[in-house]
Structure 1
Amino acid sequence: MKEILKDNNLKVTKGRLEVLRLLDKSSTPLSVEEIYKNISRESCRSLTTAYRIVNQLEDAHIIRKALSQNSISYYELSINSHKHYIVCSICGKITPIDHCPIEPLENLVEKETGYKITGHIIELSGVCPDCSKKEEV
Protein backbone atom coordinates (compact mmCIF):
# COMPACT_ATOMS: atom_id res chain seq x y z
CA MET A 1 0.00 0.00 0.00
CA LYS A 2 2.93 2.32 0.69
CA GLU A 3 4.12 1.93 -2.89
CA ILE A 4 0.67 2.74 -4.26
CA LEU A 5 0.65 6.00 -2.32
CA LYS A 6 4.21 6.87 -3.37
CA ASP A 7 3.49 6.01 -7.02
CA ASN A 8 0.60 8.49 -6.88
CA ASN A 9 2.68 11.24 -5.25
CA LEU A 10 0.83 11.02 -1.96
CA LYS A 11 2.53 11.13 1.40
CA VAL A 12 2.41 7.83 3.26
CA THR A 13 0.34 8.48 6.40
CA LYS A 14 -1.17 6.16 8.99
CA GLY A 15 -4.66 7.30 8.04
CA ARG A 16 -4.24 6.64 4.32
CA LEU A 17 -2.64 3.27 4.99
CA GLU A 18 -5.42 2.20 7.35
CA VAL A 19 -8.12 3.23 4.87
CA LEU A 20 -6.42 1.30 2.06
CA ARG A 21 -5.88 -1.80 4.21
CA LEU A 22 -9.49 -1.74 5.39
CA LEU A 23 -10.82 -1.45 1.83
CA ASP A 24 -8.44 -4.18 0.70
CA LYS A 25 -9.79 -6.58 3.37
CA SER A 26 -13.46 -5.76 2.77
CA SER A 27 -15.53 -7.99 0.50
CA THR A 28 -17.97 -5.14 -0.17
CA PRO A 29 -17.59 -1.38 -0.67
CA LEU A 30 -17.64 0.78 2.46
CA SER A 31 -19.07 4.22 3.19
CA VAL A 32 -16.87 6.91 4.72
CA GLU A 33 -18.76 6.48 7.98
CA GLU A 34 -18.03 2.73 7.99
CA ILE A 35 -14.38 3.43 7.20
CA TYR A 36 -14.15 5.95 10.04
CA LYS A 37 -15.79 3.54 12.48
CA ASN A 38 -13.27 0.79 11.66
CA ILE A 39 -9.95 2.65 11.80
CA SER A 40 -8.05 3.94 14.80
CA ARG A 41 -8.59 7.44 16.21
CA GLU A 42 -4.81 7.75 16.34
CA SER A 43 -4.61 7.76 12.55
CA CYS A 44 -7.94 9.46 11.85
CA ARG A 45 -9.19 11.79 14.57
CA SER A 46 -12.46 12.92 12.98
CA LEU A 47 -15.04 12.03 10.38
CA THR A 48 -13.95 15.14 8.48
CA THR A 49 -10.42 13.70 8.27
CA ALA A 50 -11.85 10.41 6.98
CA TYR A 51 -13.74 12.29 4.24
CA ARG A 52 -10.57 14.19 3.33
CA ILE A 53 -8.54 10.97 3.07
CA VAL A 54 -11.21 9.27 0.95
CA ASN A 55 -11.43 12.31 -1.37
CA GLN A 56 -7.64 12.40 -1.80
CA LEU A 57 -7.50 8.67 -2.58
CA GLU A 58 -10.40 8.98 -5.02
CA ASP A 59 -8.82 12.01 -6.73
CA ALA A 60 -5.65 9.93 -7.19
CA HIS A 61 -7.77 7.07 -8.65
CA ILE A 62 -6.54 4.68 -5.95
CA ILE A 63 -10.09 4.08 -4.78
CA ARG A 64 -13.36 4.48 -6.65
CA LYS A 65 -16.98 5.06 -5.82
CA ALA A 66 -18.55 1.65 -6.36
CA LEU A 67 -22.16 2.63 -5.69
CA SER A 68 -24.42 5.19 -4.09
CA GLN A 69 -27.52 4.27 -2.13
CA ASN A 70 -29.78 6.69 -0.24
CA SER A 71 -27.32 9.54 -0.87
CA ILE A 72 -24.45 7.53 0.67
CA SER A 73 -21.39 6.70 -1.45
CA TYR A 74 -19.55 3.41 -1.00
CA TYR A 75 -15.89 2.98 -1.98
CA GLU A 76 -13.57 0.16 -3.03
CA LEU A 77 -9.96 -0.12 -4.17
CA SER A 78 -9.46 0.65 -7.85
CA ILE A 79 -6.72 -1.96 -8.12
CA ASN A 80 -9.25 -4.72 -7.48
CA SER A 81 -11.23 -6.07 -10.40
CA HIS A 82 -14.22 -4.14 -11.67
CA LYS A 83 -17.39 -5.17 -9.81
CA HIS A 84 -21.05 -4.33 -9.53
CA TYR A 85 -23.35 -4.84 -6.58
CA ILE A 86 -26.99 -5.29 -5.71
CA VAL A 87 -28.29 -3.72 -2.51
CA CYS A 88 -31.25 -4.93 -0.46
CA SER A 89 -33.73 -2.08 -0.19
CA ILE A 90 -34.91 -3.37 3.19
CA CYS A 91 -31.82 -4.32 5.23
CA GLY A 92 -29.08 -2.64 3.15
CA LYS A 93 -27.11 -5.86 2.55
CA ILE A 94 -24.64 -5.46 -0.33
CA THR A 95 -23.99 -8.47 -2.57
CA PRO A 96 -21.40 -8.49 -5.38
CA ILE A 97 -22.45 -9.52 -8.90
CA ASP A 98 -19.98 -12.04 -10.32
CA HIS A 99 -19.57 -10.56 -13.79
CA CYS A 100 -20.03 -7.23 -15.54
CA PRO A 101 -23.02 -7.35 -17.88
CA ILE A 102 -22.18 -3.94 -19.39
CA GLU A 103 -18.84 -4.70 -21.07
CA PRO A 104 -20.44 -5.98 -24.32
CA LEU A 105 -22.62 -2.86 -24.43
CA GLU A 106 -19.55 -0.66 -23.86
CA ASN A 107 -17.85 -2.24 -26.87
CA LEU A 108 -20.92 -1.62 -29.04
CA VAL A 109 -21.27 1.99 -27.89
CA GLU A 110 -17.56 2.66 -28.52
CA LYS A 111 -17.85 1.21 -32.01
CA GLU A 112 -20.99 3.21 -32.82
CA THR A 113 -19.94 6.55 -31.30
CA GLY A 114 -16.16 6.62 -31.49
CA TYR A 115 -16.00 7.39 -27.76
CA LYS A 116 -13.42 5.67 -25.59
CA ILE A 117 -15.47 4.62 -22.56
CA THR A 118 -13.50 5.04 -19.35
CA GLY A 119 -15.99 3.64 -16.86
CA HIS A 120 -19.56 3.06 -15.80
CA ILE A 121 -21.63 2.59 -12.70
CA ILE A 122 -24.57 0.24 -12.32
CA GLU A 123 -26.73 0.42 -9.24
CA LEU A 124 -29.21 -2.37 -8.67
CA SER A 125 -31.58 -2.66 -5.76
CA GLY A 126 -33.96 -5.39 -4.70
CA VAL A 127 -34.99 -7.49 -1.74
CA CYS A 128 -32.45 -10.04 -0.47
CA PRO A 129 -33.49 -13.69 0.12
CA ASP A 130 -33.49 -13.22 3.91
CA CYS A 131 -35.81 -10.22 3.78
CA SER A 132 -38.02 -11.95 1.18
CA LYS A 133 -38.52 -14.84 3.59
CA LYS A 134 -39.43 -12.43 6.40
CA GLU A 135 -42.03 -10.73 4.18
CA GLU A 136 -43.66 -14.09 3.39
CA VAL A 137 -44.23 -14.84 7.07
Structure 2
Amino acid sequence: IADYLNKVTDVLNKVFIAVTLISAVTIIIGLIVISSAIMVQGKVKEYQNLVFKILGFSKKEVILSSLIEFIIIFKSVILISIFFAVIGSKFIMENIFELVWKFDFKVLIYLGSSIGLVTLILILLTNLKYLNPKIYPLIRNQ
Protein backbone atom coordinates (compact mmCIF):
# COMPACT_ATOMS: atom_id res chain seq x y z
CA ILE A 1 0.00 0.00 0.00
CA ALA A 2 2.86 2.37 0.79
CA ASP A 3 4.25 1.82 -2.71
CA TYR A 4 0.93 2.79 -4.31
CA LEU A 5 0.65 5.85 -2.09
CA ASN A 6 4.13 6.96 -3.16
CA LYS A 7 3.21 6.51 -6.83
CA VAL A 8 -0.02 8.48 -6.40
CA THR A 9 1.87 11.21 -4.53
CA ASP A 10 4.45 11.42 -7.32
CA VAL A 11 1.73 11.71 -9.97
CA LEU A 12 -0.12 14.39 -7.99
CA ASN A 13 3.12 16.33 -7.48
CA LYS A 14 3.76 16.25 -11.24
CA VAL A 15 0.19 17.41 -11.92
CA PHE A 16 0.66 20.23 -9.41
CA ILE A 17 3.89 21.34 -11.10
CA ALA A 18 2.22 21.22 -14.52
CA VAL A 19 -0.76 23.27 -13.33
CA THR A 20 1.57 25.79 -11.69
CA LEU A 21 3.61 26.19 -14.89
CA ILE A 22 0.49 26.57 -17.03
CA SER A 23 -0.84 29.17 -14.60
CA ALA A 24 2.44 31.09 -14.68
CA VAL A 25 2.49 31.11 -18.49
CA THR A 26 -1.14 32.26 -18.57
CA ILE A 27 -0.42 35.08 -16.13
CA ILE A 28 2.64 36.22 -18.11
CA ILE A 29 0.66 36.24 -21.37
CA GLY A 30 -2.13 38.17 -19.64
CA LEU A 31 0.33 40.77 -18.38
CA ILE A 32 1.77 41.21 -21.87
CA VAL A 33 -1.72 41.71 -23.32
CA ILE A 34 -2.68 44.15 -20.58
CA SER A 35 0.52 46.18 -20.97
CA SER A 36 0.02 46.52 -24.72
CA ALA A 37 -3.60 47.54 -24.17
CA ILE A 38 -2.46 50.18 -21.69
CA MET A 39 0.03 51.59 -24.21
CA VAL A 40 -2.68 51.82 -26.88
CA GLN A 41 -5.09 53.36 -24.38
CA GLY A 42 -2.45 55.97 -23.51
CA LYS A 43 -2.32 57.17 -27.11
CA VAL A 44 -6.12 57.30 -27.28
CA LYS A 45 -6.17 59.19 -23.98
CA GLU A 46 -3.69 61.72 -25.33
CA TYR A 47 -5.96 62.51 -28.28
CA GLN A 48 -9.02 62.55 -26.03
CA ASN A 49 -7.35 65.05 -23.70
CA LEU A 50 -6.34 67.13 -26.73
CA VAL A 51 -10.00 67.31 -27.79
CA PHE A 52 -10.98 68.23 -24.22
CA LYS A 53 -8.32 70.96 -24.21
CA ILE A 54 -9.57 72.35 -27.53
CA LEU A 55 -13.13 72.35 -26.15
CA GLY A 56 -11.92 74.35 -23.13
CA PHE A 57 -12.10 71.73 -20.39
CA SER A 58 -10.01 72.34 -17.29
CA LYS A 59 -7.65 69.73 -15.82
CA LYS A 60 -10.16 69.08 -13.06
CA GLU A 61 -12.90 68.34 -15.60
CA VAL A 62 -10.62 66.03 -17.59
CA ILE A 63 -9.73 64.09 -14.42
CA LEU A 64 -13.41 63.95 -13.47
CA SER A 65 -14.29 62.54 -16.90
CA SER A 66 -11.62 59.86 -16.44
CA LEU A 67 -13.05 58.99 -13.02
CA ILE A 68 -16.57 58.68 -14.40
CA GLU A 69 -15.31 56.54 -17.28
CA PHE A 70 -13.42 54.31 -14.82
CA ILE A 71 -16.43 53.89 -12.52
CA ILE A 72 -18.74 52.91 -15.37
CA ILE A 73 -16.30 50.39 -16.84
CA PHE A 74 -15.20 49.03 -13.45
CA LYS A 75 -18.77 48.42 -12.26
CA SER A 76 -19.76 46.51 -15.37
CA VAL A 77 -16.58 44.41 -15.42
CA ILE A 78 -16.81 43.65 -11.70
CA LEU A 79 -20.47 42.63 -11.90
CA ILE A 80 -19.83 40.27 -14.81
CA SER A 81 -16.72 38.77 -13.21
CA ILE A 82 -18.46 38.30 -9.84
CA PHE A 83 -21.36 36.58 -11.55
CA PHE A 84 -19.12 34.05 -13.33
CA ALA A 85 -16.80 33.62 -10.33
CA VAL A 86 -19.66 32.84 -7.95
CA ILE A 87 -21.29 30.36 -10.33
CA GLY A 88 -17.96 28.72 -11.15
CA SER A 89 -16.78 28.45 -7.55
CA LYS A 90 -20.14 27.07 -6.38
CA PHE A 91 -20.11 24.45 -9.14
CA ILE A 92 -16.50 23.41 -8.48
CA MET A 93 -16.83 23.29 -4.69
CA GLU A 94 -20.10 21.36 -4.61
CA ASN A 95 -19.79 19.08 -7.65
CA ILE A 96 -16.08 18.39 -8.02
CA PHE A 97 -14.72 18.67 -4.46
CA GLU A 98 -18.06 17.76 -2.84
CA LEU A 99 -17.61 20.38 -0.14
CA VAL A 100 -20.04 22.86 1.36
CA TRP A 101 -19.93 26.17 -0.49
CA LYS A 102 -20.42 29.40 1.44
CA PHE A 103 -20.49 32.87 -0.09
CA ASP A 104 -18.46 35.35 2.00
CA PHE A 105 -19.67 38.85 1.20
CA LYS A 106 -16.96 40.51 3.33
CA VAL A 107 -14.15 38.98 1.25
CA LEU A 108 -15.91 40.13 -1.91
CA ILE A 109 -16.15 43.72 -0.64
CA TYR A 110 -12.52 43.84 0.55
CA LEU A 111 -11.14 42.26 -2.61
CA GLY A 112 -13.28 44.33 -4.99
CA SER A 113 -12.57 47.61 -3.24
CA SER A 114 -8.82 46.99 -2.99
CA ILE A 115 -8.58 46.03 -6.68
CA GLY A 116 -10.69 49.05 -7.61
CA LEU A 117 -8.59 51.41 -5.51
CA VAL A 118 -5.28 50.18 -6.92
CA THR A 119 -6.65 50.34 -10.46
CA LEU A 120 -8.01 53.85 -9.90
CA ILE A 121 -4.66 55.09 -8.58
CA LEU A 122 -2.82 53.58 -11.54
CA ILE A 123 -5.29 55.13 -14.00
CA LEU A 124 -4.94 58.55 -12.38
CA LEU A 125 -1.14 58.33 -12.42
CA THR A 126 -1.19 57.30 -16.06
CA ASN A 127 -3.70 60.01 -16.96
CA LEU A 128 -1.60 62.74 -15.34
CA LYS A 129 1.05 62.07 -17.95
CA TYR A 130 -1.43 62.83 -20.74
CA LEU A 131 -3.04 65.95 -19.24
CA ASN A 132 -0.82 68.42 -21.12
CA PRO A 133 -0.45 67.11 -24.65
CA LYS A 134 1.75 69.03 -27.05
CA ILE A 135 -0.86 70.27 -29.50
CA TYR A 136 1.25 71.13 -32.54
CA PRO A 137 3.01 67.74 -33.00
CA LEU A 138 -0.28 65.88 -32.55
CA ILE A 139 -2.12 67.98 -35.11
CA ARG A 140 0.81 68.00 -37.56
CA ASN A 141 1.21 64.20 -37.50
CA GLN A 142 -2.48 63.40 -37.84
TM-score > 0.5 by shorter chain: no
Larger RCO (CA within 8 A; separation ≥ 6)? 2
TM-score (norm 1): 0.24
The structure richer in helix per residue is 2
The structure richer in strand per residue is 1
